[in-house]
Amino acid sequence: MEAFLAQNPQAIWRRLRHSRYARESVPAIPFFGDIAAVRRIYLPNLAPFVSPHHGILRLVPGSPRRFPFMKRFLFALLLVAGVAATRGAAATPARPNIIFILSDDLAQGDLGSYGQKLIQTPRLDRMAREGTRYTQAYCGTSVCAPSRTSLMTGLHSGHAPVRGNWEVPVEGQLPLPEKTVTVAQILKLAGYATMVAGKWGMGMFDTTGSPLKKGFDHQIGYNCQRHAHSYFPTFLYRDGVRFDLPGNTGKGVGPVYAQNVIQTDVLQWVRAQKEKPFFLYYAITLPHGAHEIDDLGIYANKPWTDQQKAYAAQVTRIDRDVGQLLDLLAELKLDEKTIVMLAGDNGSSFSPTSEMGKLFDQASNGLKGFKRGLYEGALRQAAFTRWPGVVPAGRVTDEPWAFWDFLPTAAELAGAQLPAGFKTDGRSLVSFLRGGPAPARDYFYWELHETKPIQAVRFGSWKAVRNGITQPIELYDLTTDAGESKNLAAEKPDLVARAEALMTAAHTPDPNWPLTGRASARDADRAKNTKNAKKK
Ligand SMILES: [Ca+2]
């Protein structure tokens, strides 16, 4: 093989040089091995014809493409790729740009690719077709702050420092502790430029949970989740510094739509990234309530309520804005250097019998439950990944993964070192993203501290839910009953015992998050916030 590597490229190059040239390039070849080895051994001879990006080999326009030559050429490339892969695949990381778009409360059933008919999402549907769509992608847990904490920290909600929405006076949420490491810190250390846009919700700027202390170079948008309930707020933050949105009152529609300000900043920042790979965490606040928008667009004359029109317009605005971002990647020729993942942060926020649920029939997309619960409708996300040439296009998979897998996935893609002693509950999805099977694991675990603490665990196709520590464990077989309608607990006591043991093992006790009720400090903060709200 060494002889082949040393000599055959020369022979191929000679033949290519004397063949006819075509204007179009041929499709890219995903490359799974050591790109540095290919560059070193192969490209010096074939540089005019091969454009190497991170993990991709593509013939450049003008390459010869007559079939007999091309067939041999591609064959030789694949051989080299295979040889290089066996020479130490992990030696040089691909280091793509990484974009994670997290929509607040977007549900599977909101999108055309999951069956929505009334709300238009052509660009997101195309994104799903151009990549892989997941039917069993699980959020961290089914409300904002703990779900995002799981995404950022690689920890499930039995280990994470934030396991519920805890508002801290006068603005912001319970901060991530100083010692908690985020994916942004890991990527920043690995040389990535980092940005967070939209809503943060894991600590104000003067706390240990500030995004600027958690690995982000640049920030635009809201910090506090409550502040983000207004789409026409009086101010936003850029790099932790407050700036006004003139004319807005924070009460209903005003002149400046916050998402427009945020989107403009995101596009500018991406355009400016030339030196380093980048990580963009785009936590879009739409379509969470309040359902406010600056333009109802194609829904203005629909025979729907104002809230229904605004909600549909919010979802379609996500579609437009994500489309603009994807268009920018294409313009900057970053398509094949950039992995884009998109997900909702929890299931639909609506009951199927609500004003939205009834019209759009999207609330749980055939599943049971919605936001603030732990049934599948609360946990399964609208989610897809696009990375042309690497992530298979048109793949739809029902293999499960969860938000806490993102950190180890991003770290592997970036070739980043994890800090000594760092522990994650996640598994790297890199092989799964590229078309392989999802990583094996013993179980997925969730807890949620809203009105009363609740827990759920999935092991294999079994799903167990406990709606309170004093409540009985319910057991469902997801292979035959994804809608969790038939509780099999009485028939399967051994599996119930196993579920209980997993729930116990997965929950690390934390004084902030007792399974028996609410922490008194949290109640005290809530009382202060209520008092402040009355004063206003
Ligand atoms: Ca949410």
Task: Indicate which CATH number applies to the domain containing 501.
Answer: 3.30.1120.10
272 Cα: distance to centroid of ligand 1 (angstroms): 30
49 Cα: distance to centroid of ligand 1 (angstroms): 47
346 Cα: distance to centroid of ligand 1 (angstroms): 5
350 Cα: distance to centroid of ligand 1 (angstroms): 11
If one compares 164 and 30, the residue with the highest pLDDT of the two is 164
16 Cα: distance to centroid of ligand 1 (angstroms): 55
Task: Answer with the one of 413, 437, 461 that is the final residue of a domain.
Answer: 437
Report the distance separating Cα 141 and Cα 380, nearest Å: 10
305 Cα: distance to centroid of ligand 1 (angstroms): 23
If one compares 478 and 363, the residue with the highest pLDDT of the two is 478
pLDDT of residue 212: 98
342 Cα: distance to centroid of ligand 1 (angstroms): 14
- Mean pLDDT calculated for residue range 284-311: 98
Identity at 451, one-letter amino acid code: T
196 Cα: distance to centroid of ligand 1 (angstroms): 16
345 Cα: distance to centroid of ligand 1 (angstroms): 5
Check pLDDT > 50 for residue 295: yes
pLDDT of residue 534: 84
- 407 and 507 belong to one structural domain: no
- 226 and 329 belong to one structural domain: yes
Residue with tokens 């493409």: 65
Please report which confidence band the pLDDT of residue 412 belongs to, taking 50, 70 and 90 as the band edges. very high
If one compares 284 and 30, the residue with the highest pLDDT of the two is 284
Report the distance separating Cα 233 and Cα 220, nearest Å: 14
- Mean pLDDT calculated for residue range 373-387: 97
Measured CA distances, 123 to 113, 120, 167, 349 (Å): 10, 9, 35, 23
Q: What is the mean pLDDT of the chain?
A: 87
Report the distance separating Cα 160 and Cα 305, nearest Å: 40
- 221 and 117 belong to one structural domain: yes
Is there a contact between 448 and 425 (Cβ–Cβ < 8 Å)?
no
465 Cα: distance to centroid of ligand 1 (angstroms): 21
Which tens digit of pLDDT belongs to each residue from 121-147?
A: 999 999 999 999 999 999 999 999 999
Q: Which stretch of DSSP H or E encloses residue 16?
A: helix 2-17
Report the distance separating Cα 285 and Cα 118, nearest Å: 21
Q: In this structure, what are the phi and psi dihedrals at residue 299, rounded to the nearest 5 degrees? A: -100, 0
Q: Partners of 195 in the beta sheet?
A: 218, 280
Check pLDDT > 90 for residue 502: yes
Task: Answer with the one of 384, 416, 437 that is the final residue of a domain.
Answer: 437
pLDDT of residue 363: 86
What angle in degrees, to the nearest 10, is found between the helix axes of 122-130 and 306-331?
A: 50
**Which residues form the domain of 380?**
97-437
Closest by alpha carbon to 190, among 54, 97, 274, 56? 97
Q: What would the DSSP string read from start to end of 130-183?
A: HSEEEEEEEPSSSSHHHHHHHHHHS--TTT-S--S--B-SSSSBPPPPTT---H
Check pLDDT > 60 for residue 89: no
Task: Answer with the one of 67, 91, 115 that is the final residue of a domain.
Answer: 91
In a domain, 535, yes or no: no
- 84 and 109 belong to one structural domain: no
139 Cα: distance to centroid of ligand 1 (angstroms): 10
Closest by alpha carbon to 141, among 447, 375, 442? 447
105 Cα: distance to centroid of ligand 1 (angstroms): 4
In a domain, 536, yes or no: no
If one compares 25 and 335, the residue with the highest pLDDT of the two is 335
- 406 and 456 belong to one structural domain: no
Q: How many CB atoms lie within 10 A of CB 331?
A: 10
144 Cα: distance to centroid of ligand 1 (angstroms): 4
- 149 and 61 belong to one structural domain: no
How many CA atoms lie less than 13 Å away from 251 in the CB half-sphere? 1
57 Cα: distance to centroid of ligand 1 (angstroms): 39
Report the distance separating Cα 322 and Cα 336, nearest Å: 17
- 85 and 103 belong to one structural domain: no
180 Cα: distance to centroid of ligand 1 (angstroms): 22
pLDDT of residue 365: 85
Least confident of 196-200, 348-352, 374-378, 468-472: 348-352
Q: What would the DSSP string read from start to end of 375-426?
A: SHHHHEEEEEEE-TTTSPTTEEE---EEGGGHHHHHHHHHTPPPPTT---S-
Report the distance separating Cα 513 and Cα 179, nearest Å: 18
274 Cα: distance to centroid of ligand 1 (angstroms): 32
Q: What is the CATH number of the domain that holds 237?
A: 3.40.720.10
285 Cα: distance to centroid of ligand 1 (angstroms): 8
How many CA atoms lie less than 13 Å away from 115 in the CB half-sphere? 11
Q: Which long-range contacts (CB under 8 A, 24 or more apart) does 8-15 make?
A: 8/76, 9/41, 9/42, 9/45, 9/46, 9/76, 9/80, 10/45, 12/45, 12/46, 12/72, 12/73, 12/76, 13/45, 13/46, 13/49, 15/69, 15/72
Numbers of helices and strands, H then E, in the chain: 15, 18
Is there a contact between 506 and 457 (Cβ–Cβ < 8 Å)?
yes
Residues 6 or more apart in contact with residue 7 via CB below 8 angstroms: none
User: Cis (ω within 30 of 0) for the bond into 84?
Assistant: no
Q: How many CB atoms lie within 10 A of CB 415?
A: 15
Please report which confidence band the pLDDT of residue 525 belongs to, taking 50, 70 and 90 as the band edges. very high
- 27 and 128 belong to one structural domain: no
Q: Partners of 134 in the beta sheet?
A: 383, 397
Q: In this structure, what are the phi and psi dihedrals at residue 65, rounded to the nearest 5 degrees? A: -135, 15
- 221 and 314 belong to one structural domain: yes
Check pLDDT > 50 for residue 448: yes
8 Cα: distance to centroid of ligand 1 (angstroms): 55
288 Cα: distance to centroid of ligand 1 (angstroms): 7
Pair of tokens at residue 403: 């938000």
Give the burial string for 257-294 (b: 16+ CB within 10 Å, else e): bbbebbbebbeebbeebeeebbbbbbbbbbbbbbbbbb
- 145 and 230 belong to one structural domain: yes
Structural domain count, the chain: 3
Q: Which long-range contacts (CB under 8 A, 24 or more apart) does 472-480 make?
A: 473/499, 473/500, 473/503, 475/499, 478/376
Is there a contact between 151 and 160 (Cβ–Cβ < 8 Å)?
no
In a domain, 220, yes or no: yes
pLDDT of residue 61: 43
In a domain, 534, yes or no: no
**3-class DSSP state for residue 487?**
coil
- 287 and 421 belong to one structural domain: yes
Is there a contact between 477 and 461 (Cβ–Cβ < 8 Å)?
yes
In a domain, 261, yes or no: yes
Closest by alpha carbon to 463, among 160, 138, 155? 138
Q: Where do the DSSP E strands lie in 258-417?
A: 278-283, 338-344, 380-386, 395-397, 401-402
Q: How many CB atoms lie within 10 A of CB 67?
A: 7
Pair of tokens at residue 151: 């995404």
457 Cα: distance to centroid of ligand 1 (angstroms): 21
142 Cα: distance to centroid of ligand 1 (angstroms): 7
Q: Which DSSP category does 37 fall into?
A: H
Check pLDDT > 50 for residue 495: yes
Identity at 27, one-letter amino acid code: P
pLDDT of residue 94: 74
How many CA atoms lie less than 13 Å away from 69 in the CB half-sphere? 18
- 87 and 11 belong to one structural domain: yes
Identity at 47, one-letter amino acid code: A
Check pLDDT > 90 for residue 503: yes
